[in-house]
Structure 1
Amino acid sequence: MKVLFIGESWIVHMIHTKGYDSFTSTKYEEGATHLLQCLQNAGIDVDYMPAHEVQVRFPKKLEELEKYDAIVLSDIGANTFLLQNATFYQMEIIPNSLELIREYVAKGGGFMMIGGYLSFMGIEGKANYKNSVLADVLPVVMMDGDDRVEKPQGVQPETIKEHAVTEGLGSWPRFLGYNRFAAKADADVLVQIEEDPFLVLGSYGKGKTACFASDCAPHWGPKEFMDWEHYQKLWARILEQIKR
């Protein structure tokens, strides 16, 4: 299986103030290191594209996407795909990256979105996927604005349907938050968190899709989740279900 994993990277720019004086520092971080290593350990071939590289590296042709069995987006908003350098700065007409993903799935590719502050609708609605073509592709109905549910006290998902993905997982670890959405009528809800869908499978055209409502890594996915004995198994199983 060959997977294109996109997102889960960020740059933090800080101002340090010490009395009268101040200075700035910048650091780059990636959140999916543990997950990507787990996928590789499970025998999955992963091409990782950090969020900032989408501007220059995302394929411009469907044929370039079709070498992958599945595409995963995690914590990266729609604007990163829609406002690439050529369009935003040079006013060039280029292929719509989200349209390419839609066509890729329609023709049989697998697609998963993992939750986060810039997934689904995200913080202040800035991920904004409800107003993109991926709203048709995903097996869920997104909210109109900020869809975050913050749970600093922790909240525990519950498996509600036995499936090849959930078999033998037992008790889930707690999470610190998630994106709220509703499942489409023809979708398959395997896990819920309180009364909301948490893990949803579906299809679009000839392709298969999945939505995971929380983080694959901190902060919503705390150490308890990262250290879960079924962590690797869970992600490998989901990808196995949706692959081309």
Structure 2
Amino acid sequence: MKILFIGESWTVHMIHAKGYDTFESTKYEEGATFLIDSLRNRGIEIDYMPSHEVQVRFPDNLEALEQYDSIVISDIGSNTFLLQNKTFYYMERIPNSLELIRQYVENGGGLLMIGGYLSFMGIEGKANYKNTILADVLPVEMLDRDDRVEKPEGVYPETISEHSITKDLEKWPPFLGYNRFSAKEDATTLVQIEGDPLLVIGGYGKGKTAAFASDCAPHWGPLEFMDWEYYQPLWQRILEHIKK
């Protein structure tokens, strides 16, 4: 199985104030390292494309995407796909990356979106996938606004549907938040969290899709989730289900 994993990276620019004086520092971070490493350890081939590389590295043709069994999008907003350097700075017309993903799924590829501050609609609605072509592809109906549900006290998911993905997933670890959406009529909710869908699977064209409402890593996915015995099996099962 070969996966294209996109997103889960960020740069933090800090101003340190020490009395009268200040200085600045910058650090780069990636959030999916634990997940990617755990999948690679099970023999899954993953090409990782950090958020900032989408601007210059995302394929400009369908053939390049079709080498993958599935695509994972995690915590990266739609603007990064739609406002690439050639268009934003040089006004060049280029292929719509999200349209290429739509065609890829329609032809039989798999698509998984994982939750986060820049997934689905995201913080202040900035991820904005509801207003893109991927709204047709994903198995969920997104809100028209900021869709975050913050749960600092912790909230426990509940498995509600029997499926190969949810086998033995009876006792879940807590989560600290998630993106709120509803399942489409032709989709299936496998796991819910306080009555909202957490894991939904569906299809588009010849392909299969999945949406996971919370994070694959901190902060919404706390250490209890990453240490959970079913952490790696959960993601592998989802990817096995949606692959070509």
* TM-score of the alignment, normalized to the shorter chain, above 0.5: yes
1:232 aligns with 2:229: no
**Comparing 36-45 and 94-103, the one that deviates more:** 36-45
Q: Is the 8 A contact 2:157 2:193 kept in 1?
A: yes
Which residue number in structure 2 is paired with residue 206 of structure 1? 206
In 2: Cα distance, 1:42 partner to 1:195 partner: 33
- Determine the structure 2 residue equivalent to 1:187: 187
SS of the residue corresponding to residue 105 of structure 1 reads helix
Alignment correspondent of 2:140: 140
| 1:64-108 deviation digits (Å, cap 9, x = unpaired) | 000000000000000000000000000000000000000000000
Give the Cα separation in 2 of the matches to 1:206 and 1:41: 29
CA contact (8 A) 2:77 2:119 kept: yes
Q: Which residue of 2 aligns with 1:242?
A: 242
Quote the offset at 1:168 in angstroms.
1.0
Q: Secondary structure at the match of 1:86?
A: helix
Identity of aligned residues (%): 76
Looking at structure 2, the residues matched to 122 and 194 of structure 1 have their Cα atoms a distance apart, in angstroms, of: 19
Instruction: Name the SS for the 2:39 alignment partner.
Output: helix
User: Is the 8 Å Cα contact of residues 175 and 214 (structure 2) preserved in structure 1?
Assistant: yes
Give the RMSD, CA atoms, in angstroms: 0.4
Farther off after superposition, 36-45 or 121-130: 36-45
Identify unmatched segments of 5+ residues in structure 1.
none
Corresponding residue number in structure 1 for 2:154? 154
* Structure 1 residue runs of 4 or more that deviate by more than 2 Å after TM superposition: none
- Say whether 1:99 aligns with 2:96: no
Q: 1:48 maps to what in 2? A: 48
The amino acid across from 1:164 in the alignment is S
Other structure's SS at 2:173 match: coil
1:170 Cα deviation from its structure 2 partner: 2.2
Question: 2 CA distance for matches of 1:40 and 1:3?
Answer: 10
3-state SS in 2 of match to 1:235: helix
Query: TM-score by structure 2 length?
Result: 1.00
Structure 2 counterpart of 1:39 = 39
